[in-house]
Amino acid sequence: MIRKATLKDLDSIYNIALASFETPWEKVSIEAEFYNEHASIYVYEVDEQIAAYIITWLIADEAELLTIAVDEGWRNKGIGKSLINYMKELYGNDVIWHLEVSCSNKSAIHLYKSYGFEINSIIANYYGTGKDAYRMLLYPNLSIKTGESNVGR
């Protein structure tokens, strides 16, 4: 089940971030998004446990996918896709999406390309020295290959 996150979910979200990223967001940075009027924070819950989260911004007709992570034991089951599908439906088809992703993050790049995200540029040293990022864009109204969760709830 996908639902809007509350501050009660902060610890679970932070723990997934800690386990998922070399340089995870600090807890206060995640917390700050709960007070950001442009931010949306959603979680994917399985049996009352948080399996994944996504944080996005919507400013006018520009959406940004800031971060998404699925708890390791729940990966590759369609949860990442269902969270992105959910946010795309929530924001509608008229927005342009952008995101930054590490050039070495093959699974995330694969996921974003399946939505029609295209690499727009490379940002050198975005994640630290020698750790470049791709800036990826998804233009409105492109045909989208959608995916359904196969988690069975």
Ligand X SMILES: CC(C)(COP(=O)(O)OP(=O)(O)OC[C@H]1O[C@@H](n2cnc3c(N)ncnc32)[C@H](O)[C@@H]1OP(=O)(O)O)[C@@H](O)C(=O)NCCC(=O)NCCS
- What residues contact 138, with CB distance under 8 A and at least 6 apart? 96, 97, 98, 112, 115, 116, 117, 118
**Residue 24 burial by CB count (10 A; 0-12/13-18/19+): exposed, middle or buried?**
middle
**Interface mask toward ligand X for 88-127; x: CB under 6 A:** -------------x---xxxx-xx--x-------------
102 three-state secondary structure: strand
Contacts (CB under 6 A) with ligand X, residues 55-94 = 67-70, 75-81
CA distances from 138 to 47, 65, 113, 119 (A): 33, 11, 9, 9
How far apart are alpha carbons 18 and 4 in whole angstroms? Answer: 21
Query: To the nearest whole angstrom, how small is the minimum distance from the Cβ of residue 21 to ligand X?
Result: 6
Binding of residue 43 to ligand X (CB under 6 A): no
Q: How many residues bind ligand X (CB under 6 A)?
A: 21
**CB closer to ligand X, 57 vs 94:** 57
Token output for 66: 């800031």
Query: To the nearest whole angstrom, how small is the minimum distance from the Cβ of residue 82 to ligand X?
Result: 7
Query: To the nearest whole angstrom, how small is the minimum distance from the Cβ of residue 66 to ligand X?
Result: 8
**CB closer to ligand X, 27 vs 94:** 27
Q: Which spans of this chain sit near ligand X (rule: CB under 6 A)?
A: 20, 67-70, 75-81, 101, 105-108, 110-111, 114, 147
